[in-house]
Amino acid sequence: MTPPAFDAHSATSYSEGPPRQVPGYSSLHRMVSLLLAERTPPEGRVLVLGAGGGQELKALAEAHPGWSFDGVDPSPEMLRLAKEMVGQHASRIRLHEGCIEDAPEGPFDAATSILTFHFIPYDQRLATPKQLRRRLRDGAPIVLVHLSFPQIEPERSLWIARHVAFGLSNGTDPARAERARQAIGSTLTILSPEEEVTMLGEAGFSNVSLFYAGLSIKGWVASAKQP
């Protein structure tokens, strides 16, 4: 997985972005927590791909005091922020610099990846969920949330415009909003919702369900296939 270019300044300002750009962000981590808890044991081990920043780790650790976590992220600056964010929960969290190939083998009882998959190049998009599946116990839940919308015009351009408009209405700096428009239009890897579901099936997941749709951002919960 090729990491995004998060320097020290970008990493520090990253936490300001999701609340302004992701509809319902204040409730998203709570939804993820509830979905994982349906099938994750009280002493479960959870893999978090794209753990930089630490918001996801902090929310899950606070909600589930018996869980332990392995967080993976390619950016050392983002991992530094994660270490600061998790605070008193640090003893239950191990952070790893790298991509999915650098994650511990597990087996894990659950996995999640929030606002990460659209950074993964297209030629690695199937390999990444396959690597996640290989590290999960049979039947374990996974939650994924990232950009996903139709890739056929004119719908594609309309969804990009809606994403930018939401951020602007929430106080996003216009220059930052324009950078987001350019990235979504030409840099990030974005699949249609139908392609996402198909790819998860090919990677070894079943019972794929859409649980979240906030304009251009979608979220799915699925299970590692039983043999």
- Dihedral sign from CA coordinates of 21, 26, 27, 32: positive
Closest by alpha carbon to 215, among 157, 143, 163? Answer: 163
pLDDT of 1? 41
Please give the average per-residue pLDDT across 56-70, as a whole number: 97
Residue 44 near residue 66, CB atoms below 8 Å = yes
Residues 168-172 have a mean pLDDT of: 89
Region 191-198 average pLDDT: 97
Q: Which among 222, 220, 213 is positioned nearest to 24, based on CA atoms?
A: 213
224 or 9, higher pLDDT: 224
Taken as a whole, the chain contains a residue count of: 227
Listed residue (152, 118, 147) closest to 50, CA to CA: 118
Of the pLDDT bands very low, low, confident and very high (cuts 50, 70, 90), residue 177 is confident
Domains of the chain: 8-148+189-224 (3.40.50.150)
Which tokens go with 46?
A: 């959870």
Query: Using CA atoms, how far apart are residues 47 and 38, in angstroms rounded to an integer?
Result: 16
Dump pLDDT digits (tens) for 92-129.
Answer: 999 999 999 999 998 999 999 999 999 999 999 999 99
Question: In sequence order, what are the beta bridge partners of 212?
Answer: 219
